[in-house]
Amino acid sequence: MENEGLSATHEELHRDARSMKLALIGMLLVLAIANGYLFWRVHGLDVKTSQWQAATSQQITEIRENASVNDSAHAKNLAELQAQLAEARQEAAVTAGHAKAEALKHADQLARQLAVEQEQQQQQVATELNEVKQSASTTNSKLADVSSDVATTKTDVASAKSELANTVADLKRVRGDMGVLSDRIATNGTELAALRALGERNYIEFNLTKSKTPQKVGGVELWVKKTDPKRSRFSIEIEADDRTVEKRDRTINEPVQFYVNKARQPYEIVVNEITKDHLVGYLATPKVEMARR
């Protein structure tokens, strides 16, 4: 019984040892495969690394060569630019010199022109000043003459006023043919002018001719019917406000009076001259016309 148990135990141990050996062999195979793969990968990386280093070295060499060439071209361009700059500076200096010379020349021309214009202006001012002085002298002379004329005129006006006053004083107040006292009667042109100067009435002169139709004077119509120069008498027909009034056998310088609707005071006809078929005189009307009640 004990021998059978030992045999069984030995077989189990033998199986276990074989299993472990097989497992160890499998592990060694796996390690061998892994090492081979790692070796292949490392070799591939070495090759790529070598290729990259070679390519990098070539690029560095090309860059250095290009940089050397570029440095040379840059240096050449720099030298050319410096030469151009120097030339430009020289040209600028020359141009500035010419411009300065031209500017000085132009300034000199302007100065001469200004001097000429100033001289001409001074001459013109002097001429105008002389003309003003002459004009002032002439004006003063004329002013003196005017002052003299004014004084003379004042004397004449005073004399005229005196004469007017005397003439007005000589004018007579007479009653007209209607019994109304007339303001004043003018017997000639001088006295009529004096009446106008007083401005108390309106005066319209007339020169009437004996005819078959009336003649309009100051808003009324006058019709010469008869003239008698020897006796200084006349007859006249008056048409006003659609009415006709005949004044017969009136005398020279007699106020022939008649009324119109628009005036309270009478209109007056005064004949100063009687000739054959002619009457010369004036019509006097009120300044303010108001309707009679």
Q: In which residue are the tokens 């060694």 written? A: 28
Closest CA to 245 of 262, 267, 273: 267
Quick one: average pLDDT of 118-122?
A: 81
- Every domain of the chain and the residues it spans: 1-129, 171-286
Tokens found for residue 227: 């003239």
**Residue 268: partners with Cβ closer than 8 Å, 6 or more residues away:** 176, 182, 255, 256, 257, 283, 284
Q: How confident is the model at residue 169 (pLDDT cuts 50, 70, 90)?
A: very low
Per DSSP (E only), the strands in the chain are 201-209, 215-217, 220-228, 233-240, 243-251, 256-258, 267-275, 278-286
pLDDT digits (tens, 9 = 90+) for 266-284: 999 999 999 999 999 999 9
- What is residue 172's predicted lDDT score, i.e. its pLDDT? 57
Q: How confident is the model at residue 27 (pLDDT cuts 50, 70, 90)?
A: confident
Q: Is pLDDT at 293 greater than 90 in this prediction?
A: no
Quick one: average pLDDT of 243-267?
A: 93
Q: Which residue has the higher pLDDT, 5 or 101?
A: 101
Q: How confident is the model at residue 74 (pLDDT cuts 50, 70, 90)?
A: low
Q: Which CATH number fits domain 171-286: 2.30.30, 1.20.120, 2.60.98, 2.40.128?
A: 2.60.98
Do the Cβ atoms of 287 and 202 come closer than 8 Å?
Answer: yes
Q: How confident is the model at residue 159 (pLDDT cuts 50, 70, 90)?
A: low
pTM for the full predicted model: 0.44
